[in-house]
Amino acid sequence: MSKKKKVGKPIKIKVWSATPAHESIDTRLHLRLVELLKAEGFNAEYRGDWDIVELGHGKKSLVSHHGRTGYRYPFTPAQTDAESIIIDMHSGALPLGIRVYITAHRHTTAGSIEHKGIKIVRCPAFCTFISYQRSLTLMTHILPDLGAWILIITKDGRIKLQEWLYPPFLYHDVDDKVIMSNEAQKSYVNPDVLAIGEPLISFLKDAEKIILIIADSHVGEVEAVCPEKFINMFGQEQTVELNEANKLLLKYWKHLCYMAKNVFKVDEVWLVGDAFGGAMSQKFEKFRKMTIGNIEDQLYATLELFRLLK
């Protein structure tokens, strides 16, 4: 079904920082996550706020959590981003070979395009719609996608991208109720099925490197993925009272981790920022509702989620 993997070869995890409010003002919580992952035996790297990553065959990816988006016309900034990268490469402002530009932050794949040989990738999230006063005015414009991207480098150096999106839903916290969408024409992943079809099977067979790209897990928030229990910083097991949104997103996460290890057989996982809910601030974040309010607990809960990749 997919390429054979060397026995015992660990998955490399690369982590980028993101919105300061989602990790605390004075702490690079994403860096600390990497340190904990290393202590767990993971091959983990911290890549800062942005990075240019070698993909092989002379091709590179520019990665940053933040990226330009548009609510009504998300493809317009994506097109101009591609053109700017081309201009900057040829003027010497950027190194040659950038073929992929990956951003997150808006929780949607809308605006992902290929323009003049540059692939613009907007990342989905692992949290559903986060309701606060200002977000409600744009609710229909900013409903998130849930899932990941699979980035495949073929043996001859081609770059293939595959969306991996789970059925979207809304969460009504007053009633602790999940509201599922109707069946849509768009194809979503069935989290109860542990198999894949074409064209992904053929892409994976021809792969030299397979990268799973995730972002915006926002661990700790009411609307985000969260483990049922974790070992906190004092070495004590801590149980989390999950709501219906947490439970469904955890089901999606467990499915993704199983597929990444056993079916996709990924070489790398890229976490492009906003892993945590973070500390509350005096801006819009003060309206958020939390499942885990303490950022130290959010850190160790996120570590527990990544243990599923072992």
**In 241-283, beta strands by DSSP E:** 268-272
- Please confirm whether the linkage preceding 74 is cis (ω < 30° from 0): no
Query: 13 with 48: CB under 8 angstroms?
Result: no
Is 35 in a helix, a strand, or coil?
A: helix
Is 43 in a helix, a strand, or coil?
A: strand
pLDDT computed for residue 1 by the predictor? 44
DSSP one-letter code for 162: E
Query: 213 with 272: CB under 8 angstroms?
Result: yes
Is 231 in a helix, a strand, or coil?
A: strand
d(CA 104, CA 51): 14
H/E stretch holding 120 = strand 118-122
pLDDT computed for residue 293 by the predictor? 85
Is 206 in a helix, a strand, or coil?
A: coil
Q: CB-hemisphere CA count at 13 Å for 241?
A: 3
Residue type, 267: D
Is 208 in a helix, a strand, or coil?
A: strand
Distances in Å between the alpha carbon of 293 and those of 59, 102, 168, 169?
41, 29, 25, 23
H/E stretch holding 161 = strand 159-166
pLDDT computed for residue 69 by the predictor? 83
**For residue 54, how many other CB atoms are within 10 A of its CB?**
10
pLDDT computed for residue 235 by the predictor? 94
pLDDT computed for residue 182 by the predictor? 76
Residue type, 123: C
Query: 236 with 66: CB under 8 angstroms?
Result: no
Map tokens 């070992």 to a residue: 231
Is 158 in a helix, a strand, or coil?
A: coil
State the pTM of this model.
0.93
223 closest CA partner among 285, 289, 135, 132? 289
For 101, phi then psi, to 5°, come to -120, 115
Query: 65 with 105: CB under 8 angstroms?
Result: yes
SS3 content of the chain, % helix, strand, coil (to 5): 25, 30, 45
Averages of pLDDT over runs of 10 residues in the chain (310 residues) are: 54 92 75 96 95 97 92 90 98 98 95 96 95 83 94 96 95 93 77 92 94 97 96 96 97 98 97 88 61 92 96
